[in-house]
Structure 1
Amino acid sequence: MQNTTRTPLNHYDALIYVMVMASAVDNGMSDTELRRIGLVTRSLPIFEGFDEERITDVAHACADILSGPEGMEIALEIIKDVLPARLYDTAYALAVEIMAVDHKVRPEEIRLLQLFRDRFGLDKLTCAALERGAIARYRHI
C-alpha cells in the first residue's frame, strides 16, 4: 500500500477516500461531485483543522489505490483501519452526499453503499435515514 500524502493517514484522509470512492465508483468523477467534495472539506465541522492544500494529494493517493489490483478492497480496509468507529455513520453520510449531487443513484453506487454498510456494521435503519436525508436535501421543486 502506497501513501503518497507523505503523512500518516488520519480521519480526514479516510473520509476523503470515502468521498473519492463514492464519486469514482461509476467510472467518472463529475465536476459537480469534485466541487461538492471541496465544499464538504471546507464547511463541515469534521474537517476542522484539515489542511485544504492536501486534498488533491489525498484524492490522488486514493485513486492510485483504487486503480491497483483489489483496489476497492484495500481502500475499504484502509478506511476501516484509520477511521474511528464513531465516524462510520459520518463516512456513510458523506458517501451518500456525494452520490446524491447528480440526482441519480446508479447500481454500482448502491453496491458501494452496501459495502460501506457491511464493512462499518451500520444498521439498515440508520443508513435509510441518511439516504432519505440526502434525497430531501437534493430534491428539485
Structure 2
Amino acid sequence: MSLTLHTALISTMVMVSASDGDMTDSEFNTIGEIVKTLPIFKEYDREHLPDDAESSMELLRGEDNLASMVSKIRAVLPRKLYDTAYALACDVAVCDGQLSQEELRMLEILRHGLDVDRLTAAAIERGAAIRFTRL
C-alpha cells in the first residue's frame, strides 16, 4: 500500500486504535464519523475506508518499527497537517473512554515523529478529552 494524504491520516488513527491489540467498535465508528464529517476528507471516497483501514493494519504488521511507519506518514503529509494527524489520533484514542498505556505510547511516538510541540500537543489532547467527555 502506498500512502496518500487520506490514507496517511487514516493510518494515524488506525495506529492508535490498534496499538492495544483491540480496535473497538467505538474506535472504528469514530474513525468513520471523522472521515464522514471533516472537510479534510471531502474528496475521499468513504466506501474505501474498510479496505484502507485493513491495509493500514497490514502495513503496521509488516513494519520493523513504528518509527518507520510514522516516517512514511510524515513523508506524505504536508507540514501543516502534522497537528491535524495528531488531533485525529487523539480523538480515536479517547473516544471509548479508556486510554491504555499502549495508546499513550503510540500518541507519544506520533507526537515526536510529527514534530508536534508539547504546548500544541497538550491543547490538542485537552480538546479531545473535552469532546469525548461522558456523564
Q: TM-score, normalised by structure 1?
A: 0.90
The root-mean-square deviation of aligned C-alpha atoms, in Å, is 1.2
Give the drift of 1:71: 4.9
Q: Are 1:128 and 2:122 matched, yes or no?
A: yes
The answer as to whether partners of 1:65 and 1:74 remain within 8 angstroms in 2 is no
State whether residues 22 and 112 of structure 1, in contact with CA within 8 Å, keep that contact through their aligned partners in structure 2: yes
Indicate the residue corresponding to 2:56 in structure 1: 62
Cα displacement (A) at 1:69 = 4.5
Identity %: 40
State whether structure 2 residue 131 is matched by structure 1 residue 112: no
Asked whether the 8 Å contact 1:92–1:117 carries over to 2, the reply is yes
The C-alpha deviation readout for 1:56-100, integer Å capped at 9, x for no partner, is 221111111111241523321210111111000000000000011
Quote the Cα distance in structure 1 between the aligned partners of 2:50 and 2:9. Answer: 13
Number of the residue aligned with 2:35: 41
Alignment pair present for 1:9 and 2:3: yes
1:91-113 Cα deviation digits (max 9, x unpaired): 00000000111111111111111
TM-score w.r.t. the length of structure 2 is 0.94
Structure 1 unpaired stretches of 5+: none
The answer on whether the counterparts of 1:65 and 1:71 sit within 8 Å (CA) in structure 2 is no
Do the aligned partners of 2:20 and 2:100 also contact (CA within 8 Å) in 1? yes
Kindly tell me: are residues 71 and 53 of structure 1, through their superposed partners in 2, closer, same or farther at Cα, counting changes over 3 Å?
farther
Counterpart amino acid of 2:70?
L
